[in-house]
Amino acid sequence: MKKLIKVKFYKECIPRKGIWYNHSGTIFISVMRKSKPYIRRKSILLNNKNDNELSEWHREWQYDKIETHYGVEKFGIKSYEISIFINGETHRIDNVVKNVALEFQHTLSVDIEEINSRFNAHSEYGFIAYLIIDLTKFSKIEFEGSFNSERRNPLKTKLKKWFESDYCKAENLFVNFNDGIYRIVNSIKNRYIDMSEQYFLDNLLNLEDILQLEIENYKEIVAQEKEKERVSLLKISEERRVKNEKERIENLKKEERIRDRELYYFYQEVKDNEYFKFYKKCYTNPIIRPYVNKYLSEIFEYFTDNHIEDGILEKNHNYYSKYGNAQIIYRTISILKKEKTNYWYSEIIIREKNKIIVKFKWEKGKSPVKQLTNESFIF
């Protein structure tokens, strides 16, 4: 019969030939492997079945790391193989540290339904449920390369199922690589929090605070980036506005130069062209001039038309503002007798946007007389 030694702390379970240990009611067997002796837990009977022997990776996490850091020695109770009863079922949890339930998964072929049932049971019981999976055959760089690639690869295939698990959706999935751990967090830019195994162990009970801090930092970064983008867009908008304003001013100056040149030639035409004699009469007459003075900087174009009815000849001398809405109409009324035309009087109409501003009657040998008009009359 093997010698059974009762120990208080798990760290006292040192592999020795023929020695078994009793730690907190669990039997540990010394396995004297030549290359590396180790301690393993004696198979536990559950539901009339012996559980499978733990992988070296699982055993180290469950006992050498978690129990050693957070078990009997620190809190006075063992952390491993903790059973809970919920919804009519017994669930055995790899490790429980205060309110944190830890599951270590070496065999990645396990059904996702089984994984989700663990998460739901542990969460419903009131624990923060964490799952750590074994991908120590891969490195963090391989992980990053695989997920930045569009091609299918073994690592990407292995992780697909786990990324769809309830643990991952709750951002409580940890992937153990050969050079550290990633906590998968879909709500931050990198989609993971990078940490060493030692950091995970030292901060196990603070991982939720660390997660919230990372999320808040990411939100702050996003807000800062949005603010930078907003400021950048405002800067671009302001630069565009300034550019457009400069172009507008340049165009106005250009138009002004063109208008000045056109105005110069227009004054020359008014001076030299017989067509503009009636236009000049309006400006030389002291009664009409106050109504046309504001058009001095306007350029007018000229055309004429005639109308004869019942021996009366109406000849319109129309001056239309080229760029504005002003119109000066100088209408001469004459009586036709045989082959002779006798001038009778003139009508001068000033209007803007088809609205009559003022109307004069100017009889031969007299001064112009302002006529009563309906100011809102649309001509």
Helices first, then strands: H and E counts in the chain:
11, 19
**Domain range list for the chain:** 1-53, 76-202, 216-272, 275-370
Helix (H) or strand (E) holding 150: none
Mean of all residue pLDDT scores within the chain: 90
Give the angle subtended at the CA of 237 by the CAs of 233 and 239, to the nearest 5°. 115
Cβ atoms of 309 and 300 closer than 8 Å? no
The tens digit of pLDDT for each residue in 173-192 reads: 999 999 999 999 999 988 99
d(CA 275, CA 22): 125
For residue 97, the 8-state DSSP code is E
65, two tokens: 């790391």
> Distance of alpha carbon 44 from its chain centroid, rounded?
54
Cβ atoms of 130 and 172 closer than 8 Å? yes
Q: Are strands 38-41 and 45-46 parallel, antiparallel or unpaired?
A: unpaired
Q: How many CA atoms lie within 13 Å of 377's alpha carbon, on the beta-carbon side?
A: 12
Q: Please provide the size of the chain in residues.
A: 379
Helix (H) or strand (E) holding 123: helix 112-125
The tens digit of pLDDT for each residue in 326-344 reads: 999 999 999 998 778 899 9
| Full-model pTM | 0.62
Residue 259 neighbours by CB under 8 Å, 6+ apart: 299, 323
The tens digit of pLDDT for each residue in 243-289 reads: 999 999 999 999 889 889 999 999 999 999 999 999 999 999 999 99
Provide the pLDDT for residue 193.
95
Provide the pLDDT for residue 376.
46
pLDDT more than 90, % of the chain: 69
